A and B are shown apart, each in its own frame.
Chain A
Amino acid sequence: MIEFSNVSAGYAKGARVLDGINFHIDKGEFVFLTGPSGSGKSTLLKLIYHDLRPLLGEIRVAEYSSRRISRRKIPYLRRKLGIVFQDFGLLESRTVGENVAFALEVTGAPRSFIRRRVSEALEQMGLGGKECCYPLELSGGEQQRVAIARALVGEPYALIADEPTGNLDPGISREILMRLEDINAMGMAVLLATHDYSLLKDRDHVRRLYVSGGRLIYDGPTGSFAPEAPPASGGNLPPVG
C-alpha cells in the first residue's frame, strides 16, 4: 500500500538525493527507516506524502499513484496518512483538543463524530483530561503524543513519523516508541525514520530500511542488519535533470 518503484528524487537545485529506490510496505507493518544524517530519510517521507514529487519512478500510496494523481487530489492522499514530526507541529494558540480536531475539521467531518474521535484518540495516547490544555503547558513527550493523536484521529492507513523522538529524552523516546507499537498492533502501518539507534535495541525481528548515499542499502530484519558498503561514488550521484 506504500510502494516505491525505481524512485529517484532531488530538489530543484542540487544533486539527486535519492536514486533507484524500491520497496513496499504492507498494511499493518512496522518499519524503521534509518541512515546517516543527510542521507535522504526526510526526503523519502516527503515523497510519500507528496510534499515532493519524484524525478523518476512511481510512488503508490493506497489507491493513488504519483504518476496519475492531480494536485487537487493530494490532500485526499494525505488524509490516508498520519504524519508526525520531530518538532511536534502543534498550533500553540489552540488547545490540545482543537489541535487534534483540526485534522478532522479540514475534511468536513460532522461535529459529533469529531468530538467522539478526538476523545478516543487522546484516550489512546494517554492524554485523557488534557483536552483543554494548551501545548506549551505540556511536557515534550506529552506534546508529541498530542501530535500522534492528531495523526491517528482520521484513522489513516499508515503513520509516517520523521524523527519523532529527536527532541526527547531517552526514557520518553522509549515510551513514544511503545505508543507507536501499540498503534501498529491495532492494524495501522508505521514507518519511523530515526537515527537514534538505541530505539532499535531489542527489536531484532522488526523490519529496517537503511538509506545511504542516496540508495536503499538494506531492507530486512534489524537483527541481521549488514549493510553493503556504500558505493565509492556514494556522495556524487548524477545531478538532477
Chain B
Amino acid sequence: MRSLREALLGFGRAKTMSFFAIVSTGFSLLALGMFALALLNLNTLIRYFESKVEIVVYIRDNADTGRVGMAVEDLGRVEGVDRVNFVSKEEALEHFRRDLGADSDLLQDLESNPVPASLNITMKPGYRDTLHVQAVAARAAELSFVEEVDYGREWLRRMDIFKHVVSVVGVISGALLSLVALVLISSAIKIAVFSRSREIFIMKIVGATNGYIRRAFLIEGVLKGTLGGALAAGGIFAITELFNRKLIPITGFTDRYYLYTVAAGALLGLLGSWISLGRYLRRI
C-alpha cells in the first residue's frame, strides 16, 4: 500500500516526465490501433468479396436426375464445400429474366428454354481460395453429365494475391510500428527513471531495498501505461465514430479489443519500467 502511495506521489511530482511517458505510450498504441483498424476493415472487405465465391456446374439437358442427385450428395461431402444447390432450367431462366429486367421481353417468345440447369456450390469460409475451389471444380468437371464448370478463375487468382499482399505488408508494417513504439516508450521511461536517479540514490542511502524501489516504480509504470492505453482506446473510439458518422461506415473494435489496448498499455508500462530500472538498480 505504501508503494502504491509512493507511486501516486511520484506521479504527481515528476509531472512533465509522467506526461511524456503517458503520451508516448498513448500515441504509439493509437498508431498501432489505427493500423489494426485498417487491417480489420480490409479483412471485412476481403471476407465480403470471398462470400461471392461460387462454383457453377452447368448440367447437360439430357442428364439423368438420379445421377445428378447422387452428385449433389457427393460434392456436398468434399472438404470445404458448404452447400450444393441444384438450380433447375426453369429456375435458371427465371433468374436470367430477373437479371435482364426491362429487356426480359427478348425472352418472351422462345420455343425452348436455352438456359442450362446447374449446381451452385458455395465454399465454407477459409476454403474460398484458388486451391480449394479448383479442387472442387476439377472433381465436378469429371462428372459425365457436366457441360462446363465456371468459378471465376482470374478473379479468384487476384483475390489470392491481394490477400497475400495484405498479410505480408500487414506483418511487416505491424512489426516496424511495434518496434518504433517500443523504442519510443522505453526511452520515455528511461528518461523518467533517469530524471529520478537522485531520488533512487536517496532511497538507497536511507536503506530502501531494491524490491521497495522497484515496486514503487513498477506501480507507477503500470499506472502510466494504463493511462496511455486508455488514451489510445479513446482515440481509436473517436476515430471509428468519426468515420461512421461523417465518412463511411467501418468495422470498429469490439469491447474486448478496447480492453486489450488498455492492457497492452499497462503491460508496456510494467515491462518498460522493469527493464530501465533493472539496469539502474544493478549498480549496487
Binding site for B on A (CB under 8 A): 49-53, 71-72, 74-79, 83, 89, 91, 93-94, 102-103, 105-108, 150, 154
Contacts and interface: CB of A to CB of B under 8 A. Distances in A.
Contact of B209 (A49, A52, A75): A75
A53 B205 CA distance: 15
Nearest to B15: A93
A106 B207 contact: yes
Contact of B207 (A51, A91, A94, A107): A107
A5 B182 CA distance: 49
Contacts of A102: 202-203, 206
Contacts of A53: 284
A71 B208 CA distance: 12
Contact of B202 (A52, A71, A89): A89
Given A50-B284, A93-B13, A108-B2, A76 B207 contact: yes
B92 to A, nearest CB: 81
Given A74-B284, A93-B13, A154 B207 contact: yes
A119 B13 CA distance: 24
Given A106-B203, A108-B2, 10 more contacts: A75-B207, A75-B209, A76-B207, A78-B206, A83-B205, A91-B199, A93-B13, A93-B14, A105-B2, A106-B209
Nearest to A102: B206
Interface string B230-247: 000000000000000000
B212 interface: yes
Interface of chain B: mostly helix, strand, loop or mixed: helix
Interface string B202-233: 11111111101000000000000000000000
A218 B185 CA distance: 54
Contacts of B9: 94
A49 B204 CA distance: 10
9 contacts: A51-B204, A83-B205, A91-B202, A93-B13, A93-B14, A102-B203, A103-B206, A106-B209, A150-B206
B284 A51 contact: yes
A56 B170 CA distance: 59
**Which residue of B2, B198, B207, B284 has the most chain A CB atoms within 10 A of its CB atom?**
B207
Given A74-B284, A93-B13, A105-B2, A79 B202 contact: no
Contacts of B206: 78-79, 83, 102-103, 106, 150, 154
A78 B2 contact: no
**Which residue of B201, B202, B284 has the most chain A CB atoms within 10 A of its CB atom?**
B202
A72 B202 contact: no
Contact of A78 (B14, B198, B205, B210): B205
Nearest to B283: A51
Given A78-B205, A78-B207, A91-B199, A106 B284 contact: no
A210 B9 CA distance: 43
Interface in B69-83: none
A106 B203 CA distance: 8
A51 B204 CA distance: 9
Contacts of B204: 51, 75, 78
Interface in B159-218: 198-199, 201-210, 212
Contacts of A78: 204-207
A83 B205 CA distance: 7
